[in-house]
Amino acid sequence: MIGIFDSGVGGLSLLRELDHSLPEADFLYLSDSACFPYGTRPPEWIKDRAAAITRVLTGRGCSLVVAACNTATVAAIEHLRKKFPVPFVGIVPPVKPAAATSPEKPLAVLMTENTAEGSKYTDLVKTYAGDSVVAEVRLPLLAEVVEELGFTDPVQAERVVAEVRSRLGKSRSGWRLVLGCTHYVFLRPLLERGLGPEVEVLDPCSAVAAQVVRVCESRGITVIEGGARRYLTTGDPERFAWQVSELLGVQRPQVEKVELA
């Protein structure tokens, strides 16, 4: 079984991708809804929290843990790798592939405060983006709009697009917009429609799903199971079940409340 976690619903965007790549694997998703958002929490706190989450996931039999959260990956993945024997796969803004494919195109990276401040992200830019122009766009309330499913309301949706558009500025033609938070992946169709063809939107979900498949192969992790999808939340299970069914189109998802030590 593969464990996957996020501060909330963002990681469901990666689970949706993994659903296609590993349909017969069992997945256990943990949403730390009680502590959402992670974006502005102290990195030390995120490290401890991610370790507590990993204990739950491995305690329930997960043999691989996916940190489906850029913020948690940047703050905690090295710590988790040192602390636990299971393999981890994380997610970071796809600056490397974006810069490699079109170095001449400027990048705008949409992400949380913590991701932007983390050395994992700044190293990524230094190492791979070289001379590309990289603009950081931090919109602290954006993940909240996804969490509340507010983007399904046309008025809020237009506000999101207007905010991103204004951050990119008038000279946005030819820019590539990198989604550096798993929550924002659910906004991708909206952003693509709203920003038009002059801005290309990129997210790392398919590349991360491919990495999960590679790690399963190299570590001999069983991916032919019953194809179960189960959910844990530190918040309200009924609310999380509603979010899962709205975002993934799953009927009556199995959600259990969990307390973290």
Residue 221 or 233 having the CB closest to ligand DGL: 233
Residue 116 or 258 having the CB closest to ligand DGL: 116
Least gap, CB of 220 to ligand DGL (angstroms): 29
Residue 112 or 234 having the CB closest to ligand DGL: 112
**How many angstroms separate the Cα of 31 from the Cα of each of 25, 34, 49, 147, 240?**
19, 8, 12, 11, 8
Q: CA 248 to CA 167: how far, in whole Å?
A: 29
Compute the radius of gyration of the chain from its Cα atoms: 18
Least gap, CB of 185 to ligand DGL (angstroms): 9
194 phi and psi angles, rounded to 5 deg: -70, -35
By annotation, the residues acting in catalysis are: 69, 181
Least gap, CB of 69 to ligand DGL (angstroms): 4
Q: Which helix (H) or strand (E) holds 143?
A: helix 142-147
Measured between its terminal Cα atoms, the distance across the chain in Å is 22
Chain residues that interact with ligand DGL, rule: CB under 6 A: 6-7, 10, 36-39, 69-71, 112, 115, 143, 181-183
**How many angstroms separate the Cα of 185 from the Cα of each of 11, 93, 179, 201, 261?**
9, 11, 7, 10, 30
User: Which residues lie closer than 8 Å to 47 by C-beta, 6 or more apart?
Assistant: 75, 76, 79
Residue 41 or 229 having the CB closest to ligand DGL: 41
Least gap, CB of 18 to ligand DGL (angstroms): 15
